[in-house]
Structure 1
């Protein structure tokens, strides 16, 4: 099952959000992200958070409409987005798309990258998606699909990712050890086939820049 979690960072465009929505998805609105769902006429299955930034009339409308409402104390050990991830997992989701998970609050954005790390350990497929990027993590050899000329970037999220090989891309990389956030493998491009990346150990962040 797949879950769509909409948080309170940069608001995804209506076109972007609707391009991903499927009828069978479970939709979770997280605090200010509820405003986005309301504006786009999307009824969430669940809304949650401390609701310090969602509009009261939005919360009331969803409550009347039958959305499940989970309210948390503002003084808590987890961010609202993390609670959204945990709830999606509790509902049985094995794939989760996070929207509104990037924005001007870099502390929250880095925390959401932390959710990607947690999901990787828990073997749940999670992506952060906004109008400019798709972001996900890998910890093993992977074949990545794209169209000719698309840009793709790779960042190490371990102290060292050992023996990295990038094949069938515009810029090849062979038996290279990438250190944490080293910009050695950013701004690559797709050619006429999937890009294949392999490495012996570590975690890599994959970013599809869309702008």
Structure 2
């Protein structure tokens, strides 16, 4: 099961409608539920506190098959993390997040950190109109276009024995250290890129259109 989690950030109508069709289950996080419904999209699951929604509206949506998982406003996890754990619990073999970009930089950074969640072993990535992001723990190969920007950022204290193929500045068994900016703004030079690491967790941000 491929699960799409829609967060309450910036949502591009055309993009969301396209990626919804590629997933088996859609989870709306908090007020993203209203945004999806305004686009004519009914998710299967909604996660949040939903104090913004009258109870009669909740009851009506539940009668139509929407599952609500309500949590208090103050808790130890963000609604997005709860949604990711719920998708994993449901048996998802791939989880995608969108709507992660917005005015709250703290929530945006937390979404990137979720890619390294210790309890999630299935592929987990962020997908947005202009970029995608994922964490590498071992090896990954992905499609791109020559000229696309690709940034490599350690999510652990350091990432060792990094080997890349298909980048303008390939790494050959090298190390990236958290806090240093060496891995920013590399470029693809082939239609596919391969990245392998020895130890650590490496965040890969792949810009889907050429950035100057």
TM-score after normalising by structure 1: 0.87
Conserved 8 A contact 1:154-1:206 = yes
Deviating runs (4+, > 6 A) in structure 1? none
Counterpart for residue 176 of structure 1: 174
SS in 1 for 2:9: coil
Q: Deviations over 1:143-184 (max 9, x none)?
A: 222122222111111212113222222222223211014221
> Do structure 1's residue 137 and structure 2's residue 135 form an aligned pair?
yes
In the alignment, the residues of structure 2 paired with residue 90 and residue 117 of structure 1 have an alpha-carbon distance, to the nearest angstrom, of 17
Counterpart for residue 101 of structure 1: 100
SS in 2 for 1:103: coil
Q: Which structure 2 residues correspond to residues 59-138 of structure 1 after superposition, within 5 A?
A: 59=58, 62-118=61-117, 121-138=119-136
SS in 2 for 1:5: strand
* Count of aligned pairs: 208
How far did residue 3 of structure 1 move? 0.7
How far did residue 37 of structure 1 move? 0.8
Counterpart for residue 9 of structure 1: 9
TM-score after normalising by structure 2: 0.87
Q: Deviations over 1:44-89 (max 9, x none)?
A: 111121124x544864653343211222222222211111112212
In the alignment, the residues of structure 1 paired with residue 202 and residue 179 of structure 2 have an alpha-carbon distance, to the nearest angstrom, of 9
Q: Which structure 2 residues correspond to residues 129-208 of structure 1 after superposition, within 5 A?
A: 129-208=127-206
Supply the RMSD in Å over aligned alpha carbons: 2.2
Gaps of 5+ in 1: none
How far did residue 135 of structure 1 move? 1.0
In the alignment, the residues of structure 2 paired with residue 187 and residue 135 of structure 1 have an alpha-carbon distance, to the nearest angstrom, of 14
Label 1:108 to 1:90 Cα distance change in 2 as closer, same or farther (>3 A): same
